[in-house]
Structure 1
Amino acid sequence: MTHTEVFLIALLIIFAVPWFVWRVFRTDYWAPLVVVQIIGGILLGPGVLGAVFPDYYAFVFRPEVIASLNGIAWWAVMMFVWVAGIELDIGQAWKHRRETGITAGLALGTPLLFGAVAALFILRTPGWIGAAGAHWQVVAGIGMACAVTALPILVLFMEKLAILREPIGQRILRYASLDDIAIWGVLALILVDWERIGRQAMFLLGFAVAAWLIRRLMARLDAPDRWAVGLVWLIACGFAGDWSGLHFMVGAFLSGAVLDAKWFGHEPMDRFRNIVLMTVMPVFFLSTGLRTQWDVGGAAVFAVAGVLLVASVAGKLAGVGLAGRILGWQRGEARLIGWLLQTKALIMIIFVNILLDKAIITNEAFTALLLMAVASTMLSIPMATPLLKRLGAAVGREA
């Protein structure tokens, strides 16, 4: 078979299998399509499909096919992170700064602390620190992975629960938005390369000037031109971020964060995000699954994933619960918000992909974190739904 034919077979598997499982088995309550696609990527990776059917795996996912898929995956995740950056609403966070600051700070800081403590325990055994990783980078990276909330997936979940446009939904978006900024800030700190510190300083200074210019330009453009210019801006920032030694996804996020959602419109942004999720992000999930490995032993990877899941869930619930006590929330409100903020899936996977790219963590640590992210995300809807029904009027009020 030609390279094109094998590539199309790989695409057929990537798109058809997860959708078929999601649709036929009606997994939406426990595992929305995006979660099924992530799990599908793991099952299609070398640790499962490659171990059970090595010849078939080697035939379909040959190096040249993987190289082609990786190119699509890079572009997919750049667009997705760009949209996540645009969706940040700093103005609303500032308007409600006390409530947002307390909640977002505790919702991020507490699971980060729990995750870092878990990482210190895990790192007492070998196999988790990458070739270029320092001990503090791995501890900070795992801690932050336990604290992450995936803003785009949170939006999808709240749409499903019909609370996205309700006051409580908008509050939760503010908390997640502020935490998104912190996540990328911590990532930039972890990735500081002292050999490239000059390049990174140049990138940040140049980005500040370019962001001021692009904002002035975008305000003067018509809507169709904003999309074209915005994507060019995305590519340029991704290249500059990678050149500086940070990562192209750091540049992609920053390129979106300095743009205003009102320039694009919420409905067009929702459609664009959904198109990206449907058409190209499944390739990213597959490329993520191809990175999963179990060389330290499957039992050890699952055990570490379990420890991290406990740290993540307990830390998030404890942090939001403390915020609820400080701010005087209604009984059950903090638990609802805490469970919805458990949605880690995409942003956490993007985050740990970067750590893996930079050899800060090993494939085995990546696999454990990936399993934790999937489990955490799958808990959100089932745990939040009964709480939402009991809360009633609290959904319609501001904090």
Structure 2
Amino acid sequence: MSTTEIFLLAMLLIFVAPYLVWRCFNTDYVAPLVIVQIIMGIVLGPGVLGAALPEYHKFVFNPDVVKTLNGIAQWGVMLFVMLAGIELDQKKVWQYRRESATTAGLSLGMPLLFGCGAALVLVAYPGWMGPKAQTWQFLLGTGMACAVTALPVLVLLLEKLDILRQPMGQRILRYASLDDVAIWGVLALIMLDWERVGRQLGFLLGFAVLTFAFRRLMARLPRGDRWFVAMIWLIACAFAADWAGLHFMVGAFLAGVVMDAEWFGQEQLDGLFKNVLLVLMPVFFLSTGLRTKWDLGGYSVFFVGGLLLFASVGGKLAGAHIAGKVLGWKPGEATIIGWLLQSKGLIEIIFANILLDKGIITNETFTALLLMAVGSTMLTIPIVHPKLNRAQHRALVGQASS
């Protein structure tokens, strides 16, 4: 078979397998299609399909096919997080900067603290800390893995819950976006890459300066030209952020944050969002799953996965509840926000892959983090959905009584 035919066979697997599982088993409430796609990406990767059918896996997902899939996936997720950035209301970000900074800081700091505590337990046992790691690197790396919020998956969950454009959804998006920038910055410190820390500061300064020129240019362009210039801006920001060590997704999100939705029209933005979600994002989920190199390593990995899941969920909920007390949130809001922010999705897997490649964690720790990422994401909708309904019901009752 030619490379093109094998690529198309891989694409069939990407689209058919998750859809059949989602539709035939009616998993929408427990596991929406996006979560099924994440799980199937891992199943079709080397950890499951590659172990069960190594020759078939090597034939379908050969290096040429994987490179093509990775290119499509990177472009798809860049467009997706750019659109999420456009959805974020800049005026609200500035208006609620104190609330956003307080909540983002606590929702990052508390699970980081909990995760470092869990990692401290693991240090006492052989086989969890990577061969090239210093103790502080392992503690901080594992802690940050527990603190990660999966921005692309979070956007999908907010859309699924129909709150992406509501005040609650916008608040959560603000908190997660601030944490996302911080997480990749801390990763550079864990890697002891001081050159990249300087690059990151340079990128953020250059981005701030160029944003003024970009916004003035976009305001003067006809609508038909704005899409082309937006794509150029997106690619440039993603490239610069990745070069600086902040990850291309951070650059793509920032590229969208400084754009105004009215430049393009809400109908066109909605159409692009749905098309990216349908056509490109399934490839992103699968291509990320193909990069997971894991070995179960015995029953202890499930215990450690549960420990890390407790640290991640407990830390996010603790941070959200402290923020709620400080900022005077309504009853129930802290729990909803904490649960949504703790969903890990594939960003945590990408983060853990980097730690594994650098020898900071072992395959066993990676597997535990993988189980934690899948578990945290699968728990989100079943727990948040009824709580959100109750909160909305209380709000309606309050409005009616007033």
Deviation, structure 1 residue 149: 2.8
Measure the CA separation in 2 of the matches of 1:355 and 1:125. Answer: 19
The residue that corresponds to 1:148 in the other structure is: 148
Say if 1:241 and 1:250, in contact at 8 Å, map to a contact too: yes
Paired residue type of 2:15: F
- Name the CA shift for 1:133/1:220 in 2 (closer, same or farther; >3 Å): farther
Say if 1:146 and 1:311, in contact at 8 Å, map to a contact too: yes
Measure the CA separation in 1 of the matches of 2:12 and 2:271. Answer: 23
Say if 1:168 and 1:396, in contact at 8 Å, map to a contact too: no
Per-residue Cα deviation, 1:173-200 (whole angstroms, up to 9, x for no partner): 4433443443344345546623566655
| 2:238 aligned with 1:232 | no
Paired residue type of 1:289: G
Deviation, structure 1 residue 350: 4.6
Say if 1:110 and 1:316, in contact at 8 Å, map to a contact too: yes
Say if 2:288 and 2:346, in contact at 8 Å, map to a contact too: no
Structure 2 segments unaligned to the other structure (5+ residues): none
Say if 1:167 and 1:397, in contact at 8 Å, map to a contact too: no
- Name the CA shift for 1:299/1:167 in 2 (closer, same or farther; >3 Å): same
The residue that corresponds to 1:393 in the other structure is: 394
Measure the CA separation in 2 of the matches of 1:262 and 1:132. Answer: 50
Measure the CA separation in 1 of the matches of 2:195 and 2:165. Answer: 46
Deviation, structure 1 residue 201: 5.7
Point out the more displaced range, 285-294 or 136-145. Answer: 136-145
Point out the more displaced range, 274-283 or 151-160. Answer: 151-160
- Name the CA shift for 1:388/1:245 in 2 (closer, same or farther; >3 Å): closer
Deviation, structure 1 residue 29: 0.6
1:253-272 alignment, distance < 5 Å = 253-272=253-272
- Name the CA shift for 1:248/1:93 in 2 (closer, same or farther; >3 Å): closer
Measure the CA separation in 1 of the matches of 2:245 and 2:325. Answer: 42
Deviation, structure 1 residue 61: 1.6
Structure 1 segments unaligned to the other structure (5+ residues): none
Say if 1:292 and 1:363, in contact at 8 Å, map to a contact too: no
- Name the CA shift for 1:181/1:360 in 2 (closer, same or farther; >3 Å): same
- Name the CA shift for 1:49/1:373 in 2 (closer, same or farther; >3 Å): same
Per-residue Cα deviation, 1:279-322 (whole angstroms, up to 9, x for no partner): 12222222222222334615344333222111011111112222
1:332-371 alignment, distance < 5 Å = 332-353=332-353, 355=355, 361=361, 364-371=364-371
RMSD, aligned α-carbons: 3.2
Say if 2:352 and 2:366, in contact at 8 Å, map to a contact too: yes
Deviation, structure 1 residue 261: 3.8
Look up the SS of the partner of 1:345 in the other structure.
coil
- Name the CA shift for 1:206/1:340 in 2 (closer, same or farther; >3 Å): closer
Look up the SS of the partner of 1:143 in the other structure.
helix
Say if 1:203 and 1:240, in contact at 8 Å, map to a contact too: yes
The residue that corresponds to 1:289 in the other structure is: 289
The residue that corresponds to 2:273 in the other structure is: 273
1:31-46 alignment, distance < 5 Å = 31-46=31-46
TM-score (norm 2): 0.85
- Name the CA shift for 1:207/1:389 in 2 (closer, same or farther; >3 Å): closer
The residue that corresponds to 2:82 in the other structure is: 82
Say if 1:168 and 1:397, in contact at 8 Å, map to a contact too: no
Measure the CA separation in 2 of the matches of 1:395 and 1:145. Answer: 38
Say if 2:181 and 2:250, in contact at 8 Å, map to a contact too: no
Measure the CA separation in 1 of the matches of 2:11 and 2:85. Answer: 28
The residue that corresponds to 1:222 in the other structure is: 222
Deviation, structure 1 residue 255: 2.9
Deviation, structure 1 residue 31: 0.8
The residue that corresponds to 2:139 in the other structure is: 139
